[in-house]
Amino acid sequence: MADSPRLSLHIPEPTRRPGEPPDFSAVRPPLAGGLDRPAVDVEASAIRDLAYGLIRVLDDDGKAVGAWDPHLEPETLRSGLRIMMTTRALDDRMVRAQRQGKITFYAKSAGEEAIAAGQALALRPDDMGFPTYRQQGLLIARGYPVAAMAHQVYSDRSDPMQGRQLPCLYSSRAHGFFTISGNLGTQFSQAVGWAMASALKGDDRIAAAWIGDGATAEADFYEALTFASIYRAPVILNIVNNQWAISSFQGLAGGEETTFAARAIGHGLPALRVDGNDFLAVYAVTAWAVERARSNLGATVIEHFTYRAEGHSTSDDPSRYRPAEEAKGWPLGDPILRLKTHLIALGEWSEEQHTALAAELDALVREAQRGAEAAGPLAQADPTVKAQAMFGDVYAETPWHLREQAKAMGEG
């Protein structure tokens, strides 16, 4: 006993900090096409290894290779590209608006656009999504007007959320897009409830949920896995491992010890780990999980291995905590560029088309922005509109005390 060593505590730290060169030596992406694609009705226990692999389809030359190649029509590929490029164009424009003091806040999904885009196309439009603030691409893919997004971000008189939500916290039941919470993680277990309801009603719609690497530490993540596995709910549980949670690297969420996909194993759920910057791979794993869920075989956990290419949000300055050049060094590249290269290699796209599309989308988001600015701030709307926006929808019917307060607000 006397000779027990003194204990010490391990505090995870990233290998590089500002001023140092980036270090991705721990990320050794395997060659594309190297992993088998099991049948969708495989036992979860038979594919535990996939939790430690990385499913990739696009190789370094932009060719689609291996068993996971989803063999998509060029039309679908171009749709995916368009969704991703729209997302990026909107993000860029809105961040500029924030820098100009026109809006209070914005969160981009730069570098991660393949996830929402690829998954949206593999899901059915009536499947319900439970997104985080980085799945704006899902809304775009499902045809929600970019103009309406700008109205929300501006909290303007046409904001469908009536000014009640922080920018980017969209909601659209009609587009299968669950109302985003400011609280991390809460939607993950709710999605399981939605999927359970669908199964209880003998419906054929499934649910998909997203969570960040950092937020996997929230209890809701665990409750989701527990309920999904026990009731075999038709849900896809996506972990978007973009390496960072504000200033915290993924080692602070457990990424030093094992993969995030491995969390599924303790619940007997199948786990797929995918190159999140590879549109084709994202599509392919999602299609596998969709088929499994829709065949009543239960939930799948997917870890999307990606990188948050910019700051956490407009409130953040990543140069304070990570090497300035880190984003550029990310070994899995840029998802838009990779899909573009693939399409061009297929002979289904050209630089000219690309430039033209970028210009078109730039015009689209400018137009959306103009619309938002023309609508004018909801905060300056007339008192009855404001009172409804402030006091409506707290309850199904507004009770006396809120009616009194609305009146008091009106009186100043």
Ligand X SMILES: Cc1ncc(C[n+]2csc(CCOP(=O)(O)OP(=O)(O)O)c2C)c(N)n1
Tell me the β-bridge partners of 55. 274
389 contributes a contact to other proteins by CB under 8 A: yes
Q: Which partner from the list Mg ion, other proteins, a copy of itself, none does 370 bind, CB cut-off 5 to 8 Å by kind?
A: none
Parallel, antiparallel, or unpaired: how do β-strands 300-305 and 128-130 relate? Answer: unpaired
Q: Look at residue 199 and give the partner it binds from a copy of itself, ligand X, Mg ion, none, a contact being a CB closer than 5 to 8 Å depending on partner kind.
A: a copy of itself
Question: How many Å apart are CA 326 and CA 16, to the nearest integer?
Answer: 9
Bridge partners of residue 304, in order along the sequence: 240, 274
Rounded Cα distance between 50 and 270, Å, is 8
Instruction: Report the site for other proteins in 221-260 (rule: CB under 8 A).
Output: 223-224, 226-227, 230, 245-248, 252-254
Cβ contacts of 176 within 8 Å, gap of 6 or more: 125, 126, 127, 128, 129, 142
Q: Is 309 in the site for other proteins (CB under 8 A)?
A: no
DSSP codes of every residue in 83-140: HHHHHHHHHHHHHHHHHTTSSS-----TT-HHHHHHHHHHS-TTSEEE--TT-HHHHH
The interface partner of residue 390, options being Mg ion, other proteins, ligand X, none and the CB cut-off 5 to 8 Å by kind, is: other proteins
Taking CB under 8 A as the criterion, the residue among 217, 344, 345, 364 binding other proteins is 217
Is residue 308 a contact residue for ligand X (CB under 6 A)? Answer: yes
Whole-Å CA distances, 9 to 5, 12, 120, 253, 256? 13, 10, 43, 16, 15
192: contact with other proteins by CB under 8 A: yes
Chain centroid, CA 80 distance in Å? 15
3-state helix, strand, coil in the chain (%, to 5): 45, 10, 45
User: Judged by CB under 8 A, which stretch of 107-115, 337-345, 365-373, 398-406 contacts other proteins?
Assistant: 398-406
- Extract the tokens encoding 148: 């309406």
- Return the range that interacts with other proteins (CB under 8 A); candidates 21-29, 45-53, 135-143, 188-196: 188-196
Residue 17 parent element (H or E)? none
Task: Please give the C-alpha separations between residue 90 and each of 84, 147, 153, in angstroms, as whole numbers.
Answer: 10, 10, 11
Report the residue number, 279 or 391, with the smaller CB distance to other proteins. 391
Q: What is the C-alpha to C-alpha distance for residues 126 and 403, in angstroms, rounded to an integer?
A: 37
Residues 6+ apart with CB under 8 A from 15: 23, 25, 26
Instruction: Compute CA distances 340 → 3, 197, 355, whole Å.
Output: 62, 39, 11
If one asks whether residue 412 binds ligand X (CB under 6 A), the answer comes out as: no
97 binds other proteins (CB under 8 A): no
The option from ligand X, Mg ion, a copy of itself, none interacting with 345 (CB < 5 to 8 A, set by class) reads none
Residue 350 interacting partner from Mg ion, a copy of itself, other proteins, none (CB closer than 5 to 8 Å by kind): none
Shortest Å, Cβ 32 to other proteins: 32
Q: Which residues bind a copy of itself (CB under 8 A)?
A: 1, 4-12, 44-45, 124, 196, 198-200, 202-204, 206, 217, 219, 221-223, 226, 229-234, 251-254, 256-258, 262-269, 294-296, 298
Q: Is 214 in the site for ligand X (CB under 6 A)?
A: yes
Number of residues in contact with other proteins, rule: CB under 8 A? 85
Q: Which is nearer to ligand X, 239 or 265 (CB)?
A: 239
- C-beta of 40 vs 385, nearer to other proteins: 385
Shorter beta-carbon distance to other proteins: residue 108 or 386? 386
Q: Which of 35, 199, 207, 245 forms a contact with ligand X (CB under 6 A)?
A: 245
Residue (350 or 384) nearer to other proteins, CB: 384
Q: At what angle do helices 383-391 and 400-411 cross, to 10 degrees?
A: 140
Among 87, 109, 119, 198, binds other proteins (CB under 8 A): 198
Rounded Cα–Cα distance for residues 110 and 311 (Å): 9
Binding site for Mg ion (CB under 5 A): 212-214, 242, 245
Residues of the shown chain interacting with ligand X in the complex, contacts defined by CB under 6 A = 132, 134, 182-184, 212-215, 240, 242, 244-246, 308, 312
